[in-house]
Structure 1
Amino acid sequence: MKKKRPVLQDVADRVGITKMTVSRYLRNPEQVSTALQIRIAEALDELGYIPNRAPDILSNATSRAIGVLLPSLTNQVFADVLRGIESVTDAAGYQTMLGHFGYSPEKEELQIRSLLGWNIDGLILSERTHTPASLRMIETAGIPVLEMMDCISPCVDMAVGFDNVEAARQMTQAILRKGHRNTVYLGARLDERTLLKHQGYELAMQEAGLTPRSIMMEEASSFSMGGLLLEEAQTRYPEVDSLFCTNDDLAVGAMFECQRQGLRVPKDMAIAGFHGHDITQVVTPQLATVMTPREEMGKASAALLLARIRGEHTEAEPINVGFTLFEGGSI
């Protein structure tokens, strides 16, 4: 059973002031004297006071909160992005209300409806594909919306990300420059970024006059899945001599499978991943990967969204945070 929470009057009685003075302090501490700030803060701490945001929400006042929807809470990519977002929102006094939708547009719709119900001031999304109902709710809410992870695809409002197609194209070209000719693309989840990277891979192969070949599975990526996809590639395309993987999990898993089979990387099988996770630097050989500035992307996304919330002029053009290639020793 819930305990009775202390209310503003309890704090006021503890300090010996009016409830209105406590309310002024909570809205802006500088509205009361320094000495009174200290006394009110001590009373709030002693009573364990929890602010009640419901009246603000019901009156359509600013919530000082933004919604953030991520497709995965276990993927290091999004953990890094979230760390960047919260480093900015925390400093600005904004709360992040986090939702997870498992790469499902339908579940994203449910999460958007829930977040908008809390009268959030802005919304950060991580996909470009939304249901018609999601788009209608976003339009009706009339709040700033930012989409991350891509700076090329059409966006609802604002965007911060990088060019997935070009990044994959350049990494595939790096593999081919090493003399490999039978490069297979490994993909999982089949989310929009996996498909964009597949486009970049195919473009590089076609530009080199080579036949694109891929193994794509709808299951979530993992180290074990990387090994299974390598085995499938060997079965379907016995001539395979190199792999470009949609992420580092698959690439590292494929490396482990090569070790199990006694294949030398990169002599017998070249392997490249995507995103530049920490593990890519400690495996032997170091994994070739596309380095993406995920934390910086989160920071830029939060900063741009908060600027729009404050009514500051912001450019309509998407922000490209870029990427770099790290060739390591695996290609």
Structure 2
Amino acid sequence: MKKKRPVLQDVADRVGVTKMTVSRYLRNPDQVSAALRQKIAVALDELGYIPNRAPDILSNATSRAIGVLLPSLTNQVFAEVLRGIESVTDAHNYQTMLAHYGYLPEREEERLTSLLSYNIDGLILSERTHTARTRKMIEVAGIPVVELMDCVSPCIDMAVGFDNHQAARQMTQRIIAQGYRHVVYLGARLDERTLIKQQGYEQAMREAGLQPCSIMTNRASSYSGGGEMLRQAQRDYPQIDSVFCTNDDLAIGAAFECQRQGLSIPQDMAIAGFHGHDIGQVMMPKLASVLTPRETMGQIGAERLLARLRGETVSPSMVDVGFTIIPGGSI
């Protein structure tokens, strides 16, 4: 059985004030005197009081909670995005309610249904592809929404991100400029950003008069997966001299596979990744990658969401945080 939690009346009795006074303190401590604030704080600590937000939620008052839907909790990209979000929400006394959906729109719909049942004040999403019901629920909820990781695709409300297509195109152009002619794209998960990057890669290849070739899998990215995909690329495209990977995990796995085969990077095989993770920047040779400002993206997204909650006008609707090509030593 659940242990009975202390209630407001218990705190009030301990201090010798009314429940209303304690409630006022919990909403805004500055509304009570400094001496009383100290007494109430001590009583709350001694009793182990846990605030009950249900009455506020049921009365349609603000929940001071932001829903955050991420496609993965193991991907370092989204760990950094979340750190950026919470650096802002924590500073403004908002809680984040986190859920992940494994890159599946139908699961995103399920998780969103649950989050909205808690009367969240705003929503941060990580994709542009949503089910019709997800879009309808967001419309009915009438709360501000920020979509991250892309600044080009049409958004529901607000967006903060970068141009995935242009980033992939520019990295491919950099590889070609180094003299490589048989660049193969390695993509995993087949999520929308992986496919957009593939399109950017293909455009750069065709602009250079070269034939685009891809190895794609719907499995999650991993170091071992990168090695497997490089071996498959070598079988399918024997002339391969370089790979451009949808993320650094695949790129580092491909680099390990080159080491196993005794191939020299970049002389025998050039390798480029995406996102500029720290591990790629300390390997030898340093991994060429597209550096994306994930934490900044989360911060700006959260700031714009909270600005809307304060009733402020937020313009423009989409913010481009840009990207940086890191040439490294692997191309």
Normalised by the shorter chain, which TM-score bucket?
Answer: over 0.9
State the partner residue of 2:15: 15
The aligned amino acid for 2:30 is E
Counterpart of 2:238, as a letter, is P
Match of 1:206 in 2: 206
1:65-110 deviations in whole A, cap 9, x for unaligned?
0000000000000000000000000000000000010000000000
Task: Tell me by how many angstroms 1:255 deviates.
Answer: 0.2
Instruction: Give the match's secondary structure for 1:103.
Output: coil
Local SS of the residue matching 1:274: coil
The CA distance in 2 between the partners of 1:87 and 1:101, in whole Å, is: 23
Identity of aligned residues (%): 73
Distance in 2, Cα, partners of 1:289 & 1:159: 24
CA distance in 2, matches of 1:251, 1:27: 50
Question: TM-score, with normalisation over the residues of structure 1?
Answer: 0.99
Query: Hey, what does 1:88 align to over in structure 2?
Result: 88
Distance 1:316 1:242 in 2: 39
* Counterpart code for 2:6: P
Q: Matches of 1:48 and 1:106 in 2, distance apart?
A: 39
Per-residue CA shift, 1:224-264, capped at 9, x if unaligned? 00000000000000000000000000000000000000000
Unaligned regions of 5+ residues in structure 2, if any? none
User: Partners of 1:72 and 1:293 in 2: how far apart?
Assistant: 18
Deviation at 1:282, TM superposition (A): 1.4
* SS class of match (2:97): strand
Which residue type is aligned with residue 31 of structure 1?
A: Q
Match of 1:41 in 2: 41
- 2:191 is equivalent to residue 191 of structure 1: yes
Distance (Å, rounded) in 1 between the aligned partners of 2:264 and 2:177: 19
**8 A Cα contact 2:157 2:317, kept in partner:** no
- Aligned residues, how many? 331
Q: Within 5 Å, which residues of 2 pair with 1:155-234?
A: 155-234=155-234
One-letter amino acid matched to 1:237: Y
In 2, Cα distance between equivalents of 1:12 and 1:221 = 54
TM-score, with structure 2 as normaliser: 0.99
Match for residue 67 of structure 2?
Answer: 67
In structure 2, the partner of 1:307 is: 307
The separation in 2 between residues aligned to 1:144 and 1:309, in whole angstroms, is 7
Residue identity opposite 2:75 in structure 1: N
Partner of 2:246: 246
Structure 1 letter corresponding to 2:56 = D
Q: C-alpha deviations, 1:287-309, integer Å up to 9, x for none?
A: 00000000000000000000011
Map of 1:119 onto structure 2: 119
**Aligned partner of residue 55 in structure 1, secondary structure:** helix
Corresponding residue for 1:275?
275
Look up the match of 1:321: 321
Alignment partner, residue 290 of structure 1: 290
Query: Do 2:159 and 2:318's aligned partners in 1 also have CA atoms closer than 8 Å?
Result: yes
- The Cα shift of 1:316 comes to 3.7
- How do 1:120-159 residues align onto structure 2 when only pairs under 5 Å count? 120-159=120-159
Q: Work out the CA distance in 1 between the residues paired with 2:245 and 2:103.
A: 19
* Residue of structure 2 in register with 1:97 after alignment: 97
Q: What amino acid is the match of 1:19?
A: K
Give SS of 1:10's match. Answer: helix
Aligned-pair CA distance for 1:127: 0.4
How far 1:202 moved relative to its partner? 0.4
CA RMSD of aligned residues (A): 0.5
Runs of 5+ consecutive residues of structure 1 not aligned to the other structure? none
Distance in 1, matches of 2:240 and 2:285, equals 19
C-alpha contact 2:188 2:220 (8 A) present in aligned 1: yes
- Aligned residue number for residue 107 of structure 2: 107
Question: Displacement of 1:317 after TM fit?
Answer: 2.8
